[in-house]
Amino acid sequence: MIIKAQVEAIYRNESRRILATLIRLLGDFDLAEEALHEAFFVAVERWQQDGVPDNPRAWLVSTGRFKAIDRLRRQARFAASQALLLAQAEALEEADWSTEDVQDDRLRLIFTCCHPALAPDAQVPLTLREICDLTTEEIARAFLATPATIAQRIVRAKGKIREAKIPYQVPSLAELPERLDSVLRVIYLVFNEGYSASTGDDLTRDDLTREAIRLARLLMELLPEPEVMGLLALMLLHESRRPARMSHSGELVLLDEQDRSLWEASLIAEGCALVEEALKTRRFGPYCLQAAIAAVHAEAPNAGETDWLQIVGLYDVLLRMLPSPVIELNRAAALAMRDGPLAGLQQVDGILARGELLDYHLAHSARGEFCRQLGRVKEARQAYEKALTLTRQTPEKRFIERRLAEL
């Protein structure tokens, strides 16, 4: 049982890194996934007899490689394309399997998943599935789509990579800028799933937020552009609040009620410095502006001293640059803090009247909060009840239930 628990822990912490390396070495997503699972299956049996190796990741990569070669040779016995499969197996045996002095395999994999030859609506689901091990159900909830739709997009994207022989590599510096937007979007979605999990008993998944921040740091080393700095700053500033976002009893704590002494000062300092550096270039974009908003929150000693005038102004600029109902909703919350709950409610009602965010629980939750503050109890209850039917996260459900009980 001890060995099994160790294998499970290694799978949780290392499987996506091992998979990324196997995809690079084998050149095929499906073959690499099969090899990964076979390697872990062998590890459960072998390690009980021989003990856990000094370098489990290298052992699993090597075992996965041999399993892939065996699989190709077995298939060759029964396939019409016997010569092709045998040639593929021999090529894998003869290939240079050294993993020294190579760039990070997960960063390579992100660029492969975000290749411009792939449909935009498939790039992010493929990356979230392969890099972060999210299920198709989790990805579907994040995109308000059906699991079958997401699964089809992922299958088509894998087929396109295989048929078009899309290279598994970080693009050249000349190619990087045109590929950057997709990669930044993917990294931010990975962070968001970790910062506010779409489902489950836990508010956050720190494995995903750590991974997103690590990937952003790697990307900044490769391409120190203002928007890369802005995204890293944004994630660091949000991550700094993690210790204060949950009470000791596991309840959700809103931003204006958080104990700011629990915020991590080192992350705030790094994030604010990156924001300042990025804004100085005057080539900033949406991530820099969102990071600037987060920095204003971080620099306020308490909620009452937050500069809401500046935050609303930054949201105005952000909306002109990137029109979005979600950004508009966030601006409504800031507007309510500056001008009162009625101003916020009018903005939210305008969004919902256009038919936007009708299935977004935070829109209804915000409406419930504004109505509660205005004493419009019946409307507040209806809005919170609607939000409760839409959220799938246990801490958020409990928070909304508390609000309903208070009403």
Q: What are phi and psi of 294, to 5 degrees?
A: -60, -35
CA distance 293 to 318: 10
Q: Is the pLDDT of residue 99 over 50?
A: no
Q: Which of 111, 133, 135, 113 is nearest to 124 (CA)?
A: 113
Q: Which of 375, 366, 364 has the alpha carbon at shortest distance from 406?
A: 375
pTM to 2 decimal places: 0.74
Residue pointed to by tokens 């060995």 = 3
* Residue 276: pLDDT over 50: yes
Render 228-260 in DSSP notation, one character per residue: HHHHHHHHHHHHTTGGGSB-TTS-B--GGGS-G
Q: Can you tell me the distance from the alpha carbon of 243 to that of 265, in angstroms, rounded to the nearest whole number?
A: 12
Over 70: is that where the pLDDT of 1 sits? no
Q: Which residues pair with 393 in a beta bridge?
A: 200
219 by Cβ neighbours in 10 Å (0-12 / 13-18 / 19+) ranks as buried
Phi-psi category of 101—alpha, beta or left, where left has phi over 0 and alpha has psi -120 to 50? left
Whether the per-residue pLDDT at 190 is higher than 90: the answer is: no
Taking residues 299-326, report their average pLDDT.
Answer: 94
| Each residue's pLDDT tens digit, 116-172 | 888 888 888 888 888 877 888 878 876 667 899 999 999 999 999 888 888 877 777
| Bridge partners, 200 (sequence order) | 393
Token pair listed for 219: 């990307």
pLDDT tens digit string along 3-52?
788 888 888 888 888 888 888 887 788 888 888 888 888 888 888 888 88
Task: Evaluate if residue 268 carries a pLDDT over 80.
Answer: yes
404: pLDDT strictly greater than 90: yes
pLDDT tens, residue by residue, 218-266: 888 877 889 999 999 999 999 999 999 888 887 888 888 999 999 999 9
Q: Tell me which amino acid residue 392 is.
A: R
